[in-house]
Every structure is written in C-alpha cells, then in structure tokens.
C-alpha cells in the first residue's frame, strides 16, 4: 500500500505533531521509509540503517496514533498502521534475550 503514496502531503498537514514539532519528519516521510524498509529486495544492512533513521524521538515515536493521516489519505493508505508496524519492528530489533 505504501508504494501507492503520491507524496501529496495531506497526511502531514492533518497531523497534529507535525504542527507543533518542527523536527518531526512527518507521516509522508515515514511512509516512504516504510515502503523501502518492507521491500524484500532491500539488503539487510540498508534495511537496518533505514530503521535506525526512523527509530528516533522525532521519527516514528512522535506519532500520537490519532489516525488523522489515514483518514485524509486520498490513496487510502493505512499510514498510522504502517507507522505502528515500524515501531514494532524497532522494538523487536532492540530486544536482547541473552
């Protein structure tokens, strides 16, 4: 679904954290990162680096999960769900069992 994004910016303009945090990269940039992160052709090292870039205070963790970005998306991309999936991937990468 993320590959359908046309970078119109509707999601970013409807996002409350984007309005109050100048450092927040916003949902449009996160969706673009998600698109490439989930691409099975992406190399493991590049995939890891991409997740490190998104796993920041002003990255995926700034999302308040309000679904306003998903609501206004003209391509019906589940943006909030994709951001939450990146959060889960980040947590899984940071878990240490031993």
**How many domains is the chain built from?**
1
The residue range of the domain holding 33 is 2-91
Q: Is residue 22 part of a domain?
A: yes
Backbone dihedral angles phi then psi of residue 32, each to the nearest 5 degrees:
-65, -40
Is residue 97, in this structure, part of any structural domain at all?
Answer: no
Residue 64 has pLDDT above 70, yes or no: yes
Whether 98 is covered by a domain: the verdict is: no
- CATH of residue 78's domain is 1.10.1060.10
Whether residue 35 lies inside any domain: the answer is: yes
**pLDDT tens digit sequence for 45-57:** 999 999 999 999 9
pLDDT at 7: 93
Is 26 a member of any domain? yes
Q: What is the DSSP letter of 23?
A: T
């Amino acid at each position: 679904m993320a590959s359908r994004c046309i970078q119109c910016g509707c999601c970013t303009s409807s996002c409350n954290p984007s309005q109050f945090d100048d450092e927040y990269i916003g949902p449009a940039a996160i969706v673009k990162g998600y698109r490439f992160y989930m691409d099975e052709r992406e190399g493991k090292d590049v995939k890891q680096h991409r997740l490190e870039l998104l796993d920041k205070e002003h990255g995926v963790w700034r999302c308040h999960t309000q679904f306003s970005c998903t609501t206004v998306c003209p391509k019906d991309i589940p943006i909030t769900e994709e951001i939450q999936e990146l959060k889960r991937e980040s947590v899984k990468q940071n878990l240490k069992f031993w």
